[in-house]
Amino acid sequence: MSFVEYGDTIKDGDTAIVFLGHESMFPVKVQHGTVTQTKYGVIRHSMDLIGKKYGSKVTCSKGGWVFILHPTPELWTMNLPHRTQILYSTDISVITMMLELKPGSIVCESGTGSGSLSHALIRTVAPTGHLYTVEFHQQRAEKAREEFREHGVEHLVTVTNQDVCKNGFGVSNIADAVFLDIPSPWEAIGHAKSALKAEGGRICSFSPCIEQVQRTCLAMEEYGFTEINTLEILLRVYNVRTISLQIPDLGKTAEDNSSTGFDSSNPSNQGSPCTNLQQGTVQFKSGVPLREMVGHTGYLTFATKS
């Protein structure tokens, strides 16, 4: 199993996603002799998981059932253990596009955090690219290395435990893109410029406060970056449903009836379209935004090394 290569069958040691519903799923490490408790009963790894195909419908001990899904960066983002605040797919998709990443790209990232963005970056640059990710916190860096090894992507990523603002990324003039998610990104702009290739490299900084954005933009200008722009991505979900509304009875005057030759006493006119419309209802699709939505997450500032 790997987050960048699809495996057909579930194997011992794999990380799988137990899917109970769109709002209820969780990751599990598949191991011989282990059981997993769910609200539908017990899942026995040896009998119910190992050797089965990903996507299989598994019946639990209480008669309920779940689906076992192959992990992807998107599913991992929704289910990973949170060591820090994470980026979600709405921002991740824009970051990947605006940094112009593709298979073979070299990317530098700081900080690693919970690894949500890291998994998406690795999947994008595979199989010939590489991610250099820097994490200031030692325990988080060690945990990230462990997860990358378990997920079969350790050959595509290098995790370094150091302060990027003081020591940089540990590489020079090779990166196609740099991503910064740190409290003071303006202090790392110089190191980011050194890590980027000679010309044309892209940089992105994620900051929750506009004051951070202002200082970062000033630092980018100071170091000669061009095409500086800042985006805020908001996801607004609409609830599409079918509703029924009664057609209003606008009435019909006697003059209208006489002018059109309509005779309500005539049995042949009792089933006329006009009568049915006035007494009936109409159904149509309606899109209504949810009462609550995910608000501000952060500002994404992009620039190009000239």
Flag whether 181 is marked binding: yes
Looking only at the bridges linking them, the beta strands covering 157-161 and 130-135 are parallel
Three-class SS state of 39: coil
Q: What are the CA-CA distances from residue 250 to residues 147, 253, 275, 276, 278 (Å)?
A: 67, 10, 11, 13, 7
Q: Is 135 annotated as a binding residue?
A: yes
Q: Which two tokens stand for residue 160?
A: 């370094």
Cβ-contact 49, 42 below 8 angstroms: no
Task: Please give the Cα distance from 80 to 83 (Å, whole number).
Answer: 9
* 163 marked among binding-site residues: yes
Could you report how far apart the first and last alpha carbons of the chain are, in Å? Answer: 40
C-alpha distances (whole Å) from 286 to each of 20, 79, 96, 239, 291 are 28, 32, 33, 8, 15
Buried b (16+ CB within 10 A) or exposed e, 46-75: eebbbebebebebebeeeeebebbbbbbbb
CA–CA separation, 1 and 8 (whole Å): 9
176 is in an annotated binding site: no
Is 14 flagged in the annotation as binding?
A: no
SS3 state at 211: helix
- 235 is known to lie in a ligand binding site: no
114 is in an annotated binding site: yes
Query: Beta strands 130-135 and 106-110: pairing type?
Result: parallel
3-state secondary structure of 300: strand
As annotated, the binding site includes 114-117, 135, 163, 181
As annotated, the binding site for S-adenosyl-L-methionine includes 114-117, 135, 163, 181
